[in-house]
Amino acid sequence: MNKKLGFRDLRPLTAAALVAMFPAGAWASSAVQVAGLADLSLEQLSNISVTSVSGRPESLSDAAASVYVITGEDIRRSAATSLPEALRLAPNLQVAQLNAAQYAISARGFNNAIGNKLLVLIDGRTIYSSLFSGVLWDANDVVLEDVERIEVVSGPGGTLWGANAVNGVINVITRSAAQTQGTRLSVVRSGDGGYEMGRTGGILSPDSHYRLYAMLSDHDNTSRADGFRRPDASFKQQLGFRVDLGTAAEGLTLQGDAYQGGQYPANNLAPKMSGANLLARWSSRFANGSPYKLQAYIDQSQRDDVTAFRNKAATADIQFSHEVAVPNGHKLLWGVGYRHTRDENDNSPLAAFAPAARDLNWANVFAQQDLKLHDALQLTIGAKAERNVYTGWEFLPNARLSWRHSADDTSWAAASRAVRAPARLDKELVSPSTPPFVVNGGPAFDSEIAHVLEVGHRGFAGQAVSYSVSAFQQRYDKLRSIAPGASGAAVLANQIKGVVNGVEGWASWQAASNWRLGGGFLALRKHLQLTDGSRDVNGLAALGNDPRYQLSLNSHLDLSERSELNVMVRRVGALPSPQVAAYTAVDARLAWHVTPVLELSLLAQNIFDRRHIEFNAIGMASQIERRIFLKAIWQL
């Protein structure tokens, strides 16, 4: 199948790249990056610059939204070995491992294997699948050590990011090439798999830098409760580069990745997949000093799990945004964008699409203005109009009010309308691929709609404790259902409505100069029902399986100048349908900086729990087992 796309096996190239990044005699060039807990105070952490809420840099303390930032230092100190595992650090996300390499991730409910209400970006590139409007997490990964921060926004982000940013936005931002100089090698190994990574960076000119990386990862089979070994073992190779010419404010960024994984016989637990992307972003200013940004990327992917989805997609995307020069205290951001995807699906025993190939187009225009009503009061209003091939134009308005009532405390409130536009799965799925059909498309399927109200507050309790708390109500209409069709086969329809209420929050306490404690919680109640006169042949269970609560605690302790101990405890409530028991997981990292260029660490996941299930029916689900990793990092 890769030969059809013109992909060659990346394994020899990836291995060669890893070897080439290990130059002899380079030991004294630089040191492993180590940040002490006192290097960034809680006040400095609260003023980290974020861009996902307003579309321009602003301090986290000023953002009028529920935002949690996973810093690169948080990731470095964690036991995470992949991007989905790193996302467990955000208390406002629900992360469940499905099997060896696949995950269900959502914000504020509706979590399932093909979740479709969460928008995810990696360095400005949207990575959701046009097939079902969700993210294939096993196909999307990054070098964790190159991540600068991950901005996790709970709640709608449609005004800036468009349809499908209904319940949240995850924005993964990697370091510039100038911040990743020298050569770094990482090896992480356990009895069940691990990864190897090599990265090198250099200087092209005084203001131009590059980096290259190669990464290999593999996962062993998981087991069911009855001892059956599931066929979900997988491996993946990935290569990439980034070049930064000039500065972030005025310059050009070029970056790209290529990956390949799996082998035949493939299945829906371990598909054969490949892909590549290339992105260019130009940032500059007009003659009057107002900044603008032009970004374009192409993305090609192929996925074959043989029994269900056999998909190829090629996407081209271009976006322009401009911050207009307006009177002092006010800010105006506007932009336009266009995306085209060619999506093709071969028939499998379980699924077909009619038509088999489809050209999908999205166009959008948005504007968002910040109005300074008072020294401490700011109103943000905005809207996006976005057009898709299925439902035409969708309107996504947003209003946010923030009150900075002291140097350390900010309260905010927001009202938004968000939309989840139909994907190919909603309109064109036929299952099985030959008659008699059980599901025969969704010709009348419309957009799902959410009206969201939020209030929140973030601030300090003394100088040692920072905190954030938010409450939300999300009213949904036209949610996806499976209804009886005229031909006898079921069709996808919009016959479910309801409301989700919840509270989420987190806090951090600098207990000592070498010890920081943190914690977070999420509690939600979901009440869904069929609309009057409708029948749903699948019940309401297909709209996600969510715990009523989840809690997390973490501890970062510098034992000495050369050693660290980090512990994270997660408590996840029971899932209702299918029923999955509540569980507690404890992860830990013990690290020793042997020399300025060598770090050794022991990573442990699920320390006090031999195995547990996180998702899916108990009889068929993978058990997530205790894992112990050894990790070594050389900075050459």
DSSP class of residue 486? T
DSSP three-state, residue 423? coil
pLDDT at 301: 97
323 pairs with which residues across the strands?
A: 333
Reported confidence tier of residue 317, pLDDT bands at 50, 70, 90: very high
DSSP string, 129-181: -TTTSS--GGG----GGGEEEEEEEES--HHHH-TT-SSEEEEEEEPPGGGS-
Distance from C-alpha of 480 to C-alpha of 477, rounded to nearest angstrom: 9
Reported confidence tier of residue 414, pLDDT bands at 50, 70, 90: very high
pLDDT at 543: 84
Distance from C-alpha of 559 to C-alpha of 598, rounded to nearest angstrom: 18
Q: Is the pLDDT of residue 22 over 70?
A: no
Q: Is the pLDDT of residue 55 over 90?
A: no
User: What pLDDT, in 10s, does the model give residues 382-394?
Assistant: 999 999 999 999 9
pTM assigned to the model: 0.94
Start-to-end Cα distance in the chain: 38
Q: Is the pLDDT of residue 7 over 50?
A: no
How many other C-beta atoms lie within 10 A of the C-beta of residue 104? 23
Q: Which of 192, 222, 210 is nearest to 102 (CA)?
A: 222
The tokens for 88 are 């467990």
Whether the Cβ atoms of residue 306 and residue 267 lie closer than 8 Å to each other: yes
| 480 conformational bin, left if phi > 0, alpha if psi -120 to 50, beta if neither | beta
Domain CATH for 589: 2.40.170.20
Q: What is the mean pLDDT of residues 96-125?
A: 94
Question: What is the share, in percent, of the chain residues with pLDDT greater than 70?
Answer: 93
Q: Is the pLDDT of residue 30 over 60?
A: no
**Ranges 25-34, 86-95, 245-254, 355-364: which has the least confidence:** 25-34
Reported confidence tier of residue 484, pLDDT bands at 50, 70, 90: confident
pLDDT at 43: 77
Distance from C-alpha of 89 to C-alpha of 585, rounded to nearest angstrom: 13
Q: Is the pLDDT of residue 207 over 80?
A: yes
Q: What is the mean pLDDT of residues 578-589?
A: 96
Backbone angles phi, psi at 453, to 5 degrees: -115, 135
Instruction: Give the angle 470-148-280 at the CA atoms, nearest 5°.
Output: 110
Whether the Cβ atoms of residue 391 and residue 421 lie closer than 8 Å to each other: yes
The tokens for 42 are 């809680």
Element holding 82 (H helix, E strand): none
Reported confidence tier of residue 26, pLDDT bands at 50, 70, 90: very low
Distance from C-alpha of 296 to C-alpha of 55, rounded to nearest angstrom: 17
Reported confidence tier of residue 537, pLDDT bands at 50, 70, 90: low
Whether the Cβ atoms of residue 196 and residue 190 lie closer than 8 Å to each other: no
Residue range of the domain that includes 231? 2-635
Output the CA–CA distances (angstroms, integers) from residue 591 to 34, 431, 539, 558, 631, in the order listed: 11, 51, 49, 10, 9
Chain position carrying tokens 């404010």: 249
Distance from C-alpha of 632 to C-alpha of 627, rounded to nearest angstrom: 17
DSSP three-state, residue 312? strand
The tokens for 443 are 């010709």
pLDDT at 487: 80
Output the CA–CA distances (angstroms, integers) from residue 461 to 44, 152, 326, in the order listed: 15, 23, 36
The tokens for 202 are 């250099």
Distance from C-alpha of 359 to C-alpha of 243, rounded to nearest angstrom: 32
Chain position carrying tokens 């180590």: 34
Distance from C-alpha of 299 to C-alpha of 130, rounded to nearest angstrom: 12
The tokens for 571 are 């408590």
DSSP string, 498-555: EEEEEEEEEEEEEEETTEEEEEEEEEEEEEEEEPTT---TTTTGGG----SEEEEEEE
**Ranges 4-8, 94-98, 270-274, 286-290: which has the least confidence:** 4-8
pLDDT at 1: 38
User: What pLDDT, in 10s, does the model give residues 182-206?
Assistant: 999 999 999 999 999 999 999 999 9
Q: Which of 610, 611, 589 is nearest to 600 (CA)?
A: 589
> How many domains does the chain divide into?
1
DSSP class of residue 206? T
Strands 410-420 and 392-403: antiparallel
> What residues contact residue 24 under an 8 Å CB cut-off, 6+ apart?
none
Reported confidence tier of residue 45, pLDDT bands at 50, 70, 90: confident
Amino acid type, 287: A
Q: Which of 509, 599, 506, 520 is nearest to 556 (CA)?
A: 509
pLDDT at 24: 37
User: What pLDDT, in 10s, does the model give residues 133-187?
Assistant: 999 999 999 999 999 999 999 999 988 888 889 999 999 999 999 999 999 999 9
Q: Is the pLDDT of residue 244 over 90?
A: yes
pLDDT at 249: 82
Distance from C-alpha of 514 to C-alpha of 133, rounded to nearest angstrom: 43
**Ranges 33-42, 502-511, 527-536: which has the least confidence:** 33-42
pLDDT at 35: 60
DSSP class of residue 42? H
Q: What is the mean pLDDT of residues 567-581?
A: 96
Whether the Cβ atoms of residue 252 and residue 245 lie closer than 8 Å to each other: yes
Distance from C-alpha of 547 to C-alpha of 625, rounded to nearest angstrom: 20
pLDDT at 121: 96
User: What pLDDT, in 10s, does the model give residues 429-441?
Assistant: 999 999 999 999 9
